[in-house]
Structure 1
Amino acid sequence: MNEEIEFILDTAKEAMDKAISHLEKELKTIRAGKATPAMLSTVMVDYYGSQTPLAQVANVNTPDARTLSIQPWEKNMLQEIEKAIQIANLGFNPMNNGDVIMINVPPLTEERRRNLAKQSKAEAEDAKVGVRNARKEANNDLKKADISEDLLKNTEADVQDLTDKYIKLIDDKLATKEKEILTI
C-alpha cells in the first residue's frame, strides 16, 4: 500500500477517534442516578478575574452515591464556587456550611431519565455524523488520488470497515450509558 493511501486512512481514523473521545466527554456530563465529580466538569469559577474550571480551585468528592462535596483550596472562594454552580444551571442547590459546599443530588424522575436517554442518543448521533463525515472525506481523497480502480475499491472497503467498527463502538457506548441512566 502506498504512503498516500496510508495517510488518508490514518487521517480518517484520527477523525473517527476524535468523534469517539468527544462522545465520551459529552456522555460523562450527562448524569445518571449517582453523583460523580464529572457532573461539575462544566462549572467555571471566577478565580481572581479569570474563568477557571472548578476542579482547579477545589477538591470535588463523592462521600456517598447521592452527595457531592466541594472543598475549596482557599476559604474565600466558597461564595464564588457556590455562585458558579448556580450560574451553570445544572439543577443543583449547593449548601455552604463555611468549610465545604455540599450538594445533594436528587434521584431522577422517570421523565427526566427518558430525557437524559434522549440527550445521550442525540450525542451518539452527532458522533456517528462525525464518523460518517470522516468516511466521506477519506473516500473523496481516495478518488482524487492517482491509484488503480481495484486499489480504490479495496481501500474504500477498508474505509467502510473502519466506519462500521466505529459506529458499533458508538452504539456500545450509548447502550452502556442508557443502561446506566435507566437503572434505578
Structure 2
Amino acid sequence: MQEDIDLALEAAEEGMQNSIVHFQRELLKIRSGKATPQMVADVKVEYYGMPTPLNQVAGIKTTDARTLVIQPFEKKMVSVVEQALYAANLGITPQSDGEVVRMVVPPLTEERRKQLVKQASGFAEDAKVSIRNSRRDAIQEVKAAVKEGYPEDAGKRSEQTVQELTDKYSKQVDSIFAKKEEELMTV
C-alpha cells in the first residue's frame, strides 16, 4: 500500500516537472524583440527531399541583439532556407545576399509587448492548471488507499506532501513568468 502512495507522489512530482518544462518551451517561442536561435528552431527545410530541422543544414547565430544570421553549410541551400523562413511565417522577412540569410527583428511596440505578456500569462495559467491536475490525481489515489485500509494519519501526511509539491512548482511558474514579463517589458 505504501508503495502505491509513493508511486502516486512520484507521478505527481514528475507531472509537475513536465508542466514546468512545457511552460519554459512555450515561453521560448514568444519573441521578445531580441534575436535568438530558438526563434527558428521549429523551421523545417527541404533537404534532399526530406524535411530537416534548420539547425542541421545551417549555422545559426546572432550578430547583435536584433539580427539573426543563418549561414547554410552548402551554398545552394541559401534560397531553400530563405523560402522555408518565408513559409514559416515568423513575422520577420528574411533577407539573403547569396551566402547568408539575415533576419532583423523589429523593435516591439508597447501594445505588442502587452499582448505578449498576456500570452505568457496564459501559458503560466495553463502550467498551474496542469500542476493542480497532478495534485488532484495524487490526492485521489491517496484517498482511495485510505478507503482500502491505509492509515488515515499517513494519508493526511501524504496529502500534505502533495500540497507542498504543488506550492513549490506553482512558485516556480510565478518566478519564471516574472522574469519573462520583465524581459518583454524592457525596451
1:104 aligns with 2:104: yes
Instruction: Give runs of ≥4 in structure 1 deviating > 4 Å.
Output: none
Deviation at 1:2, TM superposition (A): 2.7
For the 8 Å contact 1:12–1:134, the answer to whether it is kept is: yes
User: For residue 50 of structure 1, what is the aligned residue in structure 2?
Assistant: 50
1:177 aligns with 2:167: no
Deviation at 1:152, TM superposition (A): 1.2
SS in 2 for 1:42: coil
SS in 2 for 1:90: coil
What CA distance in whole angstroms lies between the structure 2 residues aligned with 1:23 and 1:46? Answer: 29
SS in 1 for 2:34: coil
User: For residue 140 of structure 2, what is the aligned residue in structure 1?
Assistant: 140
Paired-residue identity, %: 51
Unaligned runs of 5+ in 2: none
Tell me which moved more, 162-171 or 124-133.
Answer: 124-133
1:165 aligns with 2:168: yes
1:70 aligns with 2:70: yes
1:84 aligns with 2:84: yes
User: For residue 23 of structure 1, what is the aligned residue in structure 2?
Assistant: 23
1:10 aligns with 2:4: no
What CA distance in whole angstroms lies between the structure 2 residues aligned with 1:123 and 1:48? Answer: 37
Question: Deviations along 1:6-32, whole A, 9 cap, x unmatched?
Answer: 211111111111110011111111111
Aligned residues: 184
User: For residue 120 of structure 1, what is the aligned residue in structure 2?
Assistant: 120
Amino acid at match of 1:175: A
What is the TM-score with the length of structure 2 in the denominator? Answer: 0.94
CA RMSD after TM alignment: 1.3
Tell me which moved more, 91-100 or 74-83.
Answer: 74-83
For the 8 Å contact 1:13–1:162, the answer to whether it is kept is: yes
What CA distance in whole angstroms lies between the structure 1 residues aligned with 2:157 and 2:185? Answer: 42
1:33 aligns with 2:33: yes
SS in 1 for 2:102: strand
What CA distance in whole angstroms lies between the structure 2 residues aligned with 1:126 and 1:50? Answer: 34
What is the TM-score with the length of structure 1 in the denominator? Answer: 0.95
SS in 1 for 2:69: strand
For the 8 Å contact 1:33–1:183, the answer to whether it is kept is: no
SS in 2 for 1:70: strand
